[in-house]
Structure 1
Amino acid sequence: MSALYLGIDGGGTKTSFVVIDGDGRRLARHDEPTSYYLEIGFDALRALLHRGVQAVLHAGGATAGDIAYAFAGLPAHGEDSTRLAAFDALLAGVLPRSRVGNDMVCSWAGSLAGADGISLVAGTGSIAYGEWQGRGARCGGWGEIFSDEGSAHWLARETLALFSRMADGRAEPGPLLGLVRQHFGLAVDLDLCAAINGNAARSELAQIARLTTAAASAGDTQARQLLVRAGDELALLAAGIARNLALPAGTAVPVSYSGGVFAAGELVLGPLQAALARRLPGATLVRPRFGPELGAALYATRLAGRVLSDDALARLQA
């Protein structure tokens, strides 16, 4: 049997477990809910990971001993030094050859197939990671309370703020007004306060970003402008990575992406490309080659010292 590799891509909405082999065959996948420990608690995170590992191994007809290496990319890893040891021990006793890191690595390893460049993540939260000639750098990912610009949570917050201005008469009413009323079943606009304040989990609130896209598609110019702002904020993350990696001005650096915000398609990719041209001349926006769940598995092969052949990558892509 070819060596097996297990990747875990954690996120604010779901956590994906994937097993591949060294020939680029996908053997199994399993999904669990959010692995954001600040929302579910650290004990629940540990239980989720152990449950998910057992489920994906069973689905792939494998045991822990068959796994040459595993990598788990988890949200909030590295953002509390007092928690690092606990994070790093999460898979101990379950997968003997494994490492835990931040989920930004999954996006980079997947979208760029491990090649030099910059990866933007805009899911529930936002963050960027890049590697260039052996150096790595992170930008963003400071959390939803005062940062995470361009993320689904940020878009949701800005969308609800726009709704409040429309409802008040401070902004011209647009399609967003009716979409939010319908989504929450509001009999009175102020009932939104009860629906949101103290009741909406981070991952649930982020889903409201879909209303931004729907309103923009329906011709709401103010909602469209929120997506333009998101594109600009994400371009700033890429520019921050380039600065932290000390890339010379005009370097031809590929920039890729992953996360639910990009489901808006050209409504956000167009503004992102335009903002990159302003903020990071020389950058090229490229479609992601693999998703972050396969990125986690690919990073596991790298940790094991294995480089997948072009044929294996093509098989994985197919």
Structure 2
Amino acid sequence: MIVRPYFLGVDGGGTKTEFVCIDAVGSVVARAVTGTTYHLEVGLDEAVIRLEQGIAAICAELGITPAGFGYVFFGLPAYGEDSAIDPQLNAACGRLLGHDRYVSGNDMVCGWAGSLGAEDGINIVAGTGSIGYGEYQGRGARIGGWGEIFGDEGSAYWIAIQGLALFSRMSDGRAPKSLLHGIIIDALALREDLDLCQRIMGPTAMGRGQIAALAGLVSRAAAEGDDAAHDILRSAARELAALAIGLRAVLRFPDGVRVPLSWSGGVLSKEPLVRDAFAAQIEGTGIFELIEPRHAPGYGAALYARKLASIRNNTGRS
């Protein structure tokens, strides 16, 4: 049997895509980053181009061709949610590699595999969007991740939209003005409050990632003592805790079992106000064991690729 010592994990996201390659013992041997591969925003062709760029960068760093990968896991945003696009995206991944030693899946798996080391439990992702994924006794399930139009509760995009909605209410007198109002005006250089409409939805409208970045304005206002902004962050924490509670039921963990629960994504990893409120919500249930993330999602994707290679080898496939 040909020994191919490298395992590539691809962690797609709403803002960037990370490529992490490890060897057989789990040491990182190469990394690369490209732009988002969220095809709903950049289109299928552009998403594939960015995957090609990342694979090429890894191969160049290692001095190999894609044939040198023992296995690859593509964790891609929105994968599994479009029966027309998914086969095209999966086939494109195969063409880029030139072999069939790969699996395409949703990027939520990367967060779970990284945070929990690909072991049974639940991981909540709260980045540009939000979603939960977990596994129990060989069964995997997801919850949330319905997209920014009517879902992704607790995500950076959701927090930003709640903040912008509050700005509109403060602007026309439906809510008292707070620090957040002035912070948004200054950050977006608005001459008039209604200029916000043009900035968000006009000819040069902000993309999904740009809007999600405005969540930082809500966090800043909350940190400076804005109670209304703090309420938005507490609401985000409640929404994310609800994902965990719902997913525990879907995976049918037995009563009385404290389920390992971790997290990934910028909202929970970098925003202490949300994370602390989330932790308080979770600890109050008594049915979870909070686990600090063991690894980043990109490394988790590579770990998962190595795990898939082991499964494939144990089934007797070359």
Name the TM-score class by shorter chain: over 0.9
Contact 1:128 1:141 in 2 (8 A): yes
Task: Give the equivalent residue in structure 2 for 1:181.
Answer: 185
Contact 2:4 2:68 in 1 (8 A): no
Q: Secondary structure at the match of 2:174?
A: coil
Cα distance, 1:150 vs structure 2: 0.5
Aligned counterparts, 1:216-231, within 5 A:
216-231=222-237
Q: Are 1:151 and 2:173 matched, yes or no?
A: no
Gaps of 5+ in 2: 312-318
Aligned counterparts, 1:69-218, within 5 A:
69-95=71-97, 96=99, 97-198=101-202, 199-218=205-224
Report the AA paired with residue 69 of structure 2: I
Q: Secondary structure at the match of 1:90?
A: helix
Report the AA paired with residue 127 of structure 1: I
Task: Give the equivalent residue in structure 2 for 1:289.
Answer: 294
Cα distance, 1:18 vs structure 2: 1.0
Report the AA paired with residue 251 of structure 2: L
Deviations 1:219-245 (A, max 9, x none): 111111111111110111111111111
Task: Give the equivalent residue in structure 1 for 2:255.
Answer: 249
Q: For 1:289 and 1:168, locate their aligned partners in 2 and report how far apart those are by CA, in whole Å.
A: 46
Contact 2:12 2:76 in 1 (8 A): yes
Report the AA paired with residue 164 of structure 2: L
Task: Give the equivalent residue in structure 1 for 2:314.
Answer: none
Task: Give the equivalent residue in structure 1 for 2:17.
Answer: 15
Q: Alignment RMSD, CA only?
A: 1.6
Following superposition, which runs of at least 4 residues in structure 1 exceed 3 angstroms of deviation?
A: none
Q: Secondary structure at the match of 2:74?
A: strand
Task: Give the equivalent residue in structure 1 for 2:37.
Answer: 35
Deviations 1:51-88 (A, max 9, x none): 11001211233321221000010011110122231122
Q: For 2:246 and 2:270, locate their aligned partners in 1 and report how far apart those are by CA, in whole Å.
A: 24
Cα distance, 1:281 vs structure 2: 2.7
Q: For 2:286 and 2:89, locate their aligned partners in 1 and report how far apart those are by CA, in whole Å.
A: 38
Contact 1:140 1:237 in 2 (8 A): yes
Report the AA paired with residue 50 of structure 2: L
Report the AA paired with residue 51 of structure 1: Q
Report the AA paired with residue 236 of structure 1: A
Q: For 2:191 and 2:19, locate their aligned partners in 1 and report how far apart those are by CA, in whole Å.
A: 42
Report the AA paired with residue 160 of structure 2: A
Cα distance, 1:2 vs structure 2: 7.3
Q: For 2:122 and 2:224, locate their aligned partners in 1 and report how far apart those are by CA, in whole Å.
A: 32
Deviations 1:103-151 (A, max 9, x none): 0000000011111110001111110000112111110011110111001
Contact 1:122 1:258 in 2 (8 A): yes
TM-score, normalization by structure 1:
0.92
Aligned counterparts, 1:231-246, within 5 A:
231-246=237-252
Q: Secondary structure at the match of 2:310?
A: coil
Gaps of 5+ in 1: 307-318
Task: Give the equivalent residue in structure 2 for 1:4.
Answer: 6
Q: For 1:61 and 1:230, locate their aligned partners in 2 and report how far apart those are by CA, in whole Å.
A: 45
Report the AA paired with residue 253 of structure 2: L
Which of residues 233, 243, 258 is equivalent to 2:264? 258
State which drifts further: 10-19 or 61-70. Answer: 61-70
Cα distance, 1:250 vs structure 2: 3.3
